[in-house]
Structure 1
Amino acid sequence: MSKNIDRQLEEGRKVLMKGVDGDKQAVKKAHEIFLTLRDAEPNNAVVEAYYGSALALLGRDAVKPIEKADNAEEGLEALNRAVSMNPNNKEIRLLRANVCLRLPESFFQCSSTAIKDYTFLLNQYKKDPGYLSKNQVREIIKDLATAYQNAGKASEGKRAMQQWNQLK
């Protein structure tokens, strides 16, 4: 990637985080940034993942139910493509897991995907403790427990929470 692409990617990340925090204009701007980057770098899995995340946020902020669903579906498809392109990328797995965790299970049934991604990340951490920070591990275990609960697997969720409580 060129320095210009790297700069745009970093700018897009910052803007997207404002969108995650509720800034609807930032979501639109992030979508534009990642759409432009996607055109410039069609085989870049990280760009594809951020594009998918931005689409999911557009869905979150949409007023019309069909627009919400369409954007969320397109976002998930982009995130799945990104994982297919680079299945071992930590950032991509975190993005997809976090989007899947926040989508309504009754409509999207993607808690199992979040569980798979969080489990993958924790397994990588077991192999290499430098892979994630302690704070990331705590957050992932907490989110894993929530994903299990969303998927109707309360006992697995409780087990994950027990792990999380041991790390506090």
Structure 2
Amino acid sequence: MSKENNTEFKEAITLHQKGINGDKKAAEKAFKQLKELKLMNHNDPLIEAYYGSASALVARDHANLMEKTNYAKRGMKALDHAVTKDSSNMEIRMLRGNVAFRLPEMHFKRTSTAIEDFLYLIAAYEKEKGKGTITKDQYEDILFKLGKAYKNSNEDQKAKDVWTKLSSKNPKYKKQIEKG
């Protein structure tokens, strides 16, 4: 990636984060910038992953159900492709896991993908003993989402086990877990 593209990529990631936080215009702009960057850097899995996530953000905000579905499918396809290209990249796994987690299971059947990515991220964090790319807060959030994904998959015992582990690490999650 050229220096100019790197600046554009950083700007797109900033817009992407604003989109995650609910800014619809930022999500749309991030999607457009990442689409251009993807065309210029077609072999970069991280750009492809952010493009996929931005596509899912556009889907979240779209009014037309057909377009919403198309953007979401396009996003997951890009995220899957990025993981295929670089399966050990934590950032890519985090993006795909979070998008898969938020998609309605009834329509997309992606909870198992979220579980796979969350398990991968948890194992990496525990192996690195918290000294890697995942922060303690992110680790705890992933544990919470993994429990919720298990619960959504009717794997109640696994959800309970994960949430017991989380509660022992950070009691602040107890109320959220009770809502489950």
1:88 alignment partner, SS class: coil
Q: TM-score, with normalisation over the residues of structure 1?
A: 0.96
Residue of structure 1 in register with 2:81 after alignment: 81
- Residue type of the alignment partner of 1:115: I
- Residue type of the alignment partner of 2:79: L
Instruction: State the 1:2 CA deviation.
Output: 2.1
- Residue type of the alignment partner of 1:158: K
Instruction: State the 1:126 CA deviation.
Output: 2.2
Residue of structure 1 in register with 2:33 after alignment: 33
Residue of structure 1 in register with 2:143 after alignment: 141
1:43 alignment partner, SS class: coil
Structure 1 Cα separation of the partners of residues 98 and 125 of structure 2: 18
Superposed structure 1 runs of 4+ greater than 2 Å apart:
none
Instruction: State the 1:32 CA deviation.
Output: 0.8
- Written as runs of structure 1 = structure 2, the 5 A alignment for 1:12-161 is 12-129=12-129, 130-131=131-132, 132-161=134-163
Post-superposition CA distance 1:10-50 (Å, at most 9, x none): 11111011111111111110011101110110000000000
Structure 2 Cα separation of the partners of residues 90 and 41 of structure 1: 20
- Residue type of the alignment partner of 2:97: A
Structure 2 Cα separation of the partners of residues 150 and 12 of structure 1: 32
Structure 2 Cα separation of the partners of residues 147 and 10 of structure 1: 31
Structure 2 Cα separation of the partners of residues 7 and 150 of structure 1: 39
Structure 2 Cα separation of the partners of residues 78 and 51 of structure 1: 7
- RMSD, aligned α-carbons: 1.0
- Residue type of the alignment partner of 1:156: K
- Residue type of the alignment partner of 1:92: I
Post-superposition CA distance 1:32-80 (Å, at most 9, x none): 1101110110000000000000111111111111111111011000000
Structure 1 Cα separation of the partners of residues 67 and 156 of structure 2: 32
144-153 vs 111-120, which deviates more? 144-153
Gaps of 5+ in 1: none
Residue of structure 2 in register with 1:7 after alignment: 7
Paired residues in the alignment total 168
155-164 vs 34-43, which deviates more? 155-164
Identity %: 37
Residue of structure 1 in register with 2:173 after alignment: none
2:87 alignment partner, SS class: coil
